[in-house]
Structure 1
Amino acid sequence: ERIFNWKQVYNLKELPEHLIVVGSGVTGAEFASAYNRLGAKVTLVSSRDRVLPGEDADAAELLEKVFEDNGLRVVARSRAESVERTETGVRVHLSGEGAEDTPSIEGSHALVAVGGVPNTAGLGLDDVGVKLADSGHVIVDGVSRTSVPSIYAAGDCTGKLALASVAAMQGRIAVAHLLGDALKPLRPHLLASNIFTSPEIATVGVSQAQVDSGQYQADVLRLDFHTNPRAKMSGAEEGFVKIFARQGSGTVIGGVVVSPRASELIYALALAVTHKLHVDDLADTFTVYPSMSGSIAEAARRLHVRM
């Protein structure tokens, strides 16, 4: 009634007075953002230094600023040890560095958003020889084929990124392979993904962390949307576009977009990454003026290397 996982929370009929969200990953951040925008008081418990610890640091920092501006409280470096029902709501008990100042938090409801496990038990997979990982995920190859050549698997049960777009691509690849059609195996490094917070955070290809670690050598250009006239008209200036171009060649190898409907804007960068386009290819393509996509072309222009 008051303590939910991410599926059960949809049963709520009324807006929580104070929702405590345990987990600062994608699911936790999305629900925290949504209920904050709906008008509920929200507290987000993060075991790490910030929200979205596995995502672009600039994007996560901006999102946390937006959270703060909207009155959403983030309790960082705190791990939820337990959640209990009280007479009037719930109490979340914390441990860790952040718990020294805040040993517990009381609210009306709690959402525990800390991941899930594959529901593959009892399907008879062992009986037909389909191999599972120790985690319970179905082991598949690049064309979605299991250890039994005539059986394919797609979606979250395979242990790939748990995204609908990944599941759909795995399914299309499986059908193409089954029919003997030409295909390309699943290429996770080309995956475009989106976090449906407000603003949204979309990414594709190489990340800032991979560049900072030296795994990739890239020129990086970030362009904030407060310079974009369409963003000003829309009141959507809290955001940016970031492009990663391979040093020496100018090939687009990654990108980040933080804005409303970033899920739509990332497609241009996904095309560039997938088809190895040059920053000049983006820069030389006409964009509508004014438009949010104009910032993608402008960022690409700033990465141009004079020959």
Structure 2
Amino acid sequence: MEQRQFGTTQRQVAIIGQGTWKIDNDNRNSAIAALRQGLDLGMTHIDTAEMYGKAEEIVAEAISGRRDEVFLVSKVLPSNASRRGTIAACEKSLARLKTDRLDCYLLHWRGQHRLEDTIAAFEQLKQEGKILSWGVSNFDVSDLEAVYKIVGDNNIACNQVLYHLNERAIEHAVIPWCEKHNVAVVAYSPFGQGNFPSPHSDEGKVLQKIATAHNATPYQVALRFLVRSKSLFAIPKAANSKHATDNAGAGKLNLSENELAQINDAFPIGPRPRALPML
């Protein structure tokens, strides 16, 4: 699995990781097996959140005995993101994950608590060794600028955002801002929400043609496109080991400039929306 530097951290992180949103809706044993299979195949970036129900507990079981292999990420809910609340939320996540530290801790989206207070909590957690870096999720450029005014460069590790072939809004301004400031961009829901291109559609045929040329799947081609730049990472969820294996296969693909251009043309970016899309 290809790795690259994760934003302002000094860590090399797998470009294809593992998401866990709604993983507690799946069969628990299958979910654990999928996460372990993903680790075996190099998808060592595992993302979870306090909002995701029992996902943190499932992750804890999956990484038991393998914690040092994992770049582990969790998130604090905006409603808990006061200075004291952030610290308490992190400690609860650590307990559920059965670990002593998070590799990165994110504010899930911007809420009513002052960013200064959330960031102060992040910095305190870093000093205590409970987190090694921190970042944000679902932040538009104006939100990123607000954080930047508080902390400046070399502090925001990543911005985790909605990104898939039919939702490329972040390419207008979010990705350029993050690349300028060395902030990793992590794509969540990289296959969309039940709207992955049909193989019978014109767009789906483009993906299938490229996939056939590489003995790959359209899903693998889509994933590889989403991580085509040095700032980009993706965290697809897998409900079973086969799905995890398929996701990991994207890390082996090498798409040509012509193939990237074909995908770009088939899935136009569209106009910049007034608000950042999010789930």
Q: TM-score, normalised by structure 2?
A: 0.29
Name the structure where strand makes up a greater proportion of residues.
1
Q: Larger radius of gyration, structure 1 or 2?
A: 1
Return the structure number with greater relative CO, CA threshold 8 A, min gap 6: 2
Name the structure where helix makes up a greater proportion of residues.
2
